[in-house]
Amino acid sequence: MTNDPPVELNSFPRRSVKEDDMFDSTKMNLLAGQKADPDKRSLLEAVTKRIDLSPIIGTELHGLQLSQLSEQQKEDLALFVSERGVVFFRDQDITLEQQQELGRSWGPLHVHPIGRKSDPKEDAQLFHTTKASKIHAGEGWHTDISFEKVPSSCAILKVVEVPPCGGDTIWASTYAAYDKLSPALREVIESLTALHNADQFLSAREDPTGQTFLRRDTVAFSIEHPVVRTHPITGWKILYVNKAFTKHIKGFTKAESGKHLRSICEHMLLNFLTDHIATSDDVKVRFRWEKNSVAIWDNRATQHLALWDYYPHNRQAQRVLVLGERPYRDPESKSQLEAGGALYQAPPLWLRDVDGAGSGYRWSL
């Protein structure tokens, strides 16, 4: 037993935030990475080691402290994250306040609709998984807050406590997931939209312990976004659906699919697309955390999954989310492979369809 005073948990007021108050960087000309050097020299010439973890997604940079980046390095890093999907750093001394400062250099920080008294700041979240936890953050393949009218552009996560082993996080490239689709299917989904919804958060208002609460009681957590969106910095096409928040695809007419078949077609297509991302191992990267490791990922160009394979051990991390732009599709945009954005060309498997000719993802073996 100690005589330390009890920890006073933060308690933020419940509040209603109108959709019109959400930040949209495309209207304010504040897109992170717009002022970057295309070669990212201020960033990459300062590192002591660069490790590309896969040709498509994921790079580990050594020799930099995120707490000491120059303004140009921050811009170059924003572009690099947009291109590589997720970038990793180890042995970082960055504090939560500096983590927030870095995030704010790229845009306003997101205030999550679920408030928790354990959160250190209103616009930062603490994830602490212990033996007593019933759930853990990051379950299932997802893109952070895709249910918002203006979703996140990127996330900054620092892990401050790690289990002896386990607790890895896996990211998937939604650039590459789009590239793996057949040309015929790409054409079908280009004009479709999908409903993103987070009604599961409404249960927070019924928390009998009072540890969680809703900050936005009057805002519906539903919004339509294009199934294929364009990245505002790279200009590459993104497959923008995820298992956690995308509820159904819209866009088929009754004449195309029939009165009753329409919902079946939309449901089957959504399941195929989300499973396509979840099961495409060649578009993924897996990261083994160490204490004080940091990951910065693009929430437009990736999805991720946090593994909970370390029970009964603890894992603790702190995260900030940066708000981006309202998703849109530019019909003139190209895919990552079309633009030459991957380190290598597409493997032959991607260039064969079901009958062995043409291009696109091979549907069966």
Rg for the chain, CA atoms, rounded: 21
What CATH number did the domain enclosing 53 receive?
Answer: 3.60.130.10
pLDDT the model gives residue 109? 96
Longest CA–CA span in the chain (Å) reads 74
223, two tokens: 């919004």
Q: 44-53 burial by CB neighbour count: b if 16+ within 10 A, else e? A: beeeeeeeeb
Distance of alpha carbon 22 from alpha carbon 149, whole angstroms: 7
**Of 208-212, 235-239, 314-318, where does the model show the most confidence?**
235-239
Q: Does 349 map to a domain?
A: no
At 231, list the tokens.
């990245």
Mean confidence (pLDDT) of the chain = 84
Query: Ramachandran region of residue 292, left (φ > 0), alpha (ψ -120 to 50) or beta?
Result: left
Task: Examine the pLDDT at 278 and tell me if it is beyond 90.
Answer: yes
CB atoms within 10 A of CB 141: 19
7 within some domain: no
pLDDT value at residue 10: 30
Q: Report the predicted TM-score, pTM, of the whole model to 2 decimal places.
A: 0.87
Whether 270 is covered by a domain: the verdict is yes
Give residue-wise pLDDT tens across range 58-87: 999 999 999 999 999 999 999 999 999 999
CA distance 172 to 282: 9
Q: Is 319 a catalytic residue?
A: yes
Q: Is residue 143 part of a domain?
A: yes
Report if residue 351 sits inside a domain: no
Residues making up the chain, counted from first to last: 365
Residue given tokens 């700041």 in the structure block: 121
Catalytic residue among 76, 119, 123, 144: 144
Q: Token pair of 158, please? A: 């620092």
Mean pLDDT lowest for which of 5-19, 82-96, 327-341? 5-19
- Which of 245, 279, 250 is closest to 267 using CA atoms? 250
Residue 271 lies in domain: 33-339
Q: Is 142 a catalytic residue?
A: yes
pLDDT at 24: 53
Rounded average pLDDT over 180-187: 94
Q: Which helix (H) or strand (E) holds 28?
A: helix 25-28
User: Which residue type occupies 1?
Assistant: M
pLDDT tens track for 104-147: 999 999 998 887 777 778 899 888 888 888 767 778 899 999 99
Q: How does DSSP assign 104-152, residue by residue?
A: HTTSPBP--SEEETT-SBTTBEEEEE-TT-SS-TT-SSB-TTTTSSS-E
State the Cα–Cα distance between residues 287 and 299, nearest whole angstrom.
Answer: 17
Would the CA dihedral through 126, 325, 236, 365 be positive or negative? Answer: positive
Q: Residue 31: its pLDDT value, please?
A: 84
Kindly state whether residue 13 falls inside one of the protein's structural domains. no
196, 231, 319, 326: which is the annotated catalytic residue? 319
Is 136 part of the annotated catalytic residue set? no
Has residue 75 been placed in a domain?
yes
Among 116, 229, 304, 326, the active-site one is: 304
Q: How many domains does the chain have?
A: 1
Cis peptide before 120 (omega within 30 of 0): no
Assess if residue 16 is contained within a domain: no
The alpha carbon torsion through 58, 60, 61, 67 (nearest 10 deg) reads: 90
Structure tokens at 51: 């490790």
Q: Two tokens at 323?
A: 């708000």
76 is catalytic: no
Find the catalytic residue in 142, 186, 215, 300. 142
Q: What is the pLDDT of residue 156?
A: 98
